[in-house]
Amino acid sequence: MDHPKISKLAFTGSTEVGREVGLAAAKKIIPSTLELGGKSANIFFDDCNIDHAIDGAIMGILLSQGEVCYAGSRIFVQDTFYDKFVDALIKQFNSVKVGHSMDPNTMMGAIVNEKQFKKILEYVKIGEQEGCKIGCGGVRIIENGLDKEYYMKPT
């Protein structure tokens, strides 16, 4: 951040580090772009191609098990086709093959570590406590030799 030839700083990540990047840009009086701690939203209207929308939503949240800062973890759906969209999304989530990353049929691999896995389960629990209905998943997968790592059904 201190190199004299840098004319702009860009950072995606935590608010704590982003604050430092923003301050460094301000000190140099150069522009900065910061995407901090947010979760990217998907917005779907009833005139969309629902098959493409579902594919995009699935890829947006399951890419790298959702462990990326740009994961599409929020979905806003126009009320006129909400039920149809959610039903189609659940159907697709239930068809996702979870497994070892070396298996070419795998669509979603293991969660990075136990700490992150427990954090995900805690968020599922919080959602349920706040009245969320779990449409699919929400549990660990231990069948077919997946008990040695941290696999979770798409939720």
Cα 117 from Cα 120, distance rounded (Å): 5
| HEC secondary structure over 82-122 | HHHHHHHHHHHHHHCCECCCCCCCCCECCECCHHHHHHHHH
- pLDDT exceeds cutoff 70 at 69: no
Catalytic residue among 20, 35, 67, 128: 35
| 35 assigned to active site | yes
- What pLDDT is attached to residue 38? 66
> What phi and psi values does residue 57 have, to the nearest 5 degrees?
-65, -40
**Which residue from 98, 90, 91, 96 is spatially nearest to 134, judged by alpha carbons?**
90
- pLDDT exceeds cutoff 80 at 148: yes
The residue-averaged pLDDT of 60-88 equals 87
- What pLDDT is attached to residue 144? 87
For the chain, what percent of residues have pLDDT higher than 70?
Answer: 98
- What pLDDT is attached to residue 37? 72
The residue-averaged pLDDT of 89-118 equals 93
Catalytic residue among 20, 67, 69, 132: 69
